[in-house]
Amino acid sequence: MNRGPGLTILAVAIAASLACRSQTIVGVTATDEAALRQALDIEMQAANAADAAGWASVYADDAIVLRPHAPAAQGREAIQQWLATLPPISNAKGQGVEVVGYGDLAYLRGSYTMTFSIPGVPVPIDEQGKFLQIYRKQSDGSWKMTRELYNSDLPLPVPPPAPPPSR
């Protein structure tokens, strides 16, 4: 009795389904989640200490930071150089509100607050916003940030009104 191509297709589909089941996708463990949250703590401590190298240490060599109002910073070295140009930061705090991961990829979504002391500006500037960080687990088991996107919750400053035209 000829069962035709339908039986062959069914057998291939069953075999493929069984093969997929053997590849378990694992979410982040409690240890992984703690490591991702610790990376955020390292960032905030380094920001408060004006430690660009310490801050950059959480990024992978090929990381990209998608900065607001500026081109992306690409590569840990470029990110560290950019971090070194930031005005003094104090009271930097970050809160991770969501950690999701599968296998060797994870993301951390959260919020931040910090105060900038800009030279020549008499009053410090309080900043708050949100971020999304993507991490990849390294061969040594550590997690390094590969992509970061952040932006402020505060509106852009409104420029002062233009003086009336002179006659």
Distance CA 26, CA 7 (A): 33
- Each residue's pLDDT tens digit, 20-54: 443 445 688 999 999 999 999 999 999 999 999 99
> In the prediction, which pLDDT does 1 show?
53
Which residues constitute the domain of residue 48?
A: 26-152
> In the prediction, which pLDDT does 16 show?
52
Cite the DSSP H helix spans in 22-101: 30-48, 52-56, 76-84
Q: Give the domain CATH number at 65.
A: 3.10.450.50
> In the prediction, which pLDDT does 165 show?
87
The answer to whether residue 6 sits within a structural domain is: no
128 DSSP β-pair partners: 113
The answer to whether residue 68 sits within a structural domain is: yes
Pair 34, 115: CB distance under 8 Å: no
Distance CA 46, CA 101 (A): 25
Distance CA 117, CA 123 (A): 7
| Total count of domains within the chain | 1
In this structure, what token pair is assigned to residue 3? 């069962």
Does residue 65 register a pLDDT over 80?
yes
When mean pLDDT is compared over 4-8, 17-21, 23-27, 139-143, the highest value belongs to 139-143
Sequence-separated (6 or more) residues with CB below 8 Å from residue 67: 73, 82, 150
The answer to whether residue 88 sits within a structural domain is: yes
Q: Which of 104, 147, 154 is nearest to 126 (CA)?
A: 154
What is this structure's pTM?
0.79
- Each residue's pLDDT tens digit, 141-167: 999 999 999 999 998 888 888 888 887
> In the prediction, which pLDDT does 23 show?
44
E strands along 20-158, which residues? 59-66, 73-74, 89-102, 105-116, 125-137, 143-152
